[in-house]
Amino acid sequence: MSKGSVEIASGGASARIALRGAELKSWRVDGRELIWPGDDKYWAESAPILFPVVGWTRDGVVVEGQRYPLGLHGFARGEDFAPVEQSENRVLLRLRANERTRALYPFEFELFCEYKIENNALEIVLHVVNGSRKIMPFACGLHPGFVWPLPGATGGHVLRFDAAERAEVPVIAPGGLFSQRRRAIPLEDRALILTPDLFEEALCFLDARSAGLEFSAEGGPTLRMELENFPHIALWSRPGAPFLCLEAWTGHGDPEGFSGDIFAKPSMRALAPGEKARSAARLIWRA
């Protein structure tokens, strides 16, 4: 364990996870670094965990008539997680409700983030536990940024979905809110050719048909993502930036005009007292 982080390894692969935000900072397979290291010029983060909301809120959230200043992607990425279990190739980190979180989100919760590495595969699992005496609405998500171009790539890059998706995505309105309008994207036969000009704003596939997708270079390496209980998929970068985020969400940003009541917020999950929820992603690297 290095200061402020934990490391796991298997075969020729290793991963380093920061305790702040349980954020994946490095994933190396056979000497190839796959995770964007963060750079203030484009985006300072690497792979934040999103909780208890995903996306932008319209002036926070309202709970039982009171407004709370809960902002973009919630607060988990700014909180320190504590190691609960660790072995050579697996670590389980936990965040519990505290005074800071209650000021933004008045619920008692435990958020566990589990990382497990097996050779060329890395699994990330989010476990959410409702410790309140009332129903707890929440959303969670993964926001990993991968280096683009992929290590060893010599040609252009493409993203392929496992199932046919609509060749249009919601327009993102000012403030990160979801518009009723949609815009066409050049998705053909499940394949999207990746170019910097695609990413004026995020591409959000709500209620996606695919439970998996592949980010690959033509004739070269492939990074595959397999999802469990993540119904929404988003792709994000910045024009000219050398990274691509493959995001997995259970919820999404507020629609335009939304009032902010957390119980009415679209795509939130409702956990009964004592109930648990699990969502997972498996990342597989093929050189």
How confident is the model over 169-225, as pLDDT tens digits? 999 999 999 999 999 999 999 999 999 899 989 999 999 999 999 999 988 899 999
The label of the residue with tokens 């056979």 reads 30
Are the C-beta atoms of residues 202 and 172 closer than 8 Å to each other? yes
Pairing of strands 222-228, 276-286: antiparallel
Indicate the pLDDT class of residue 1, thresholds 50, 70 and 90: very low
List, for residues 115-151, the tens digit of each pLDDT value: 999 999 999 999 999 999 999 999 999 999 999 999 9
Q: Phi-psi category of 75—alpha, beta or left, where left has phi over 0 and alpha has psi -120 to 50?
A: alpha
Are the C-beta atoms of residues 221 and 188 closer than 8 Å to each other? no
The label of the residue with tokens 């000009």 reads 197
List, for residues 70-84, the tens digit of each pLDDT value: 999 999 999 999 999
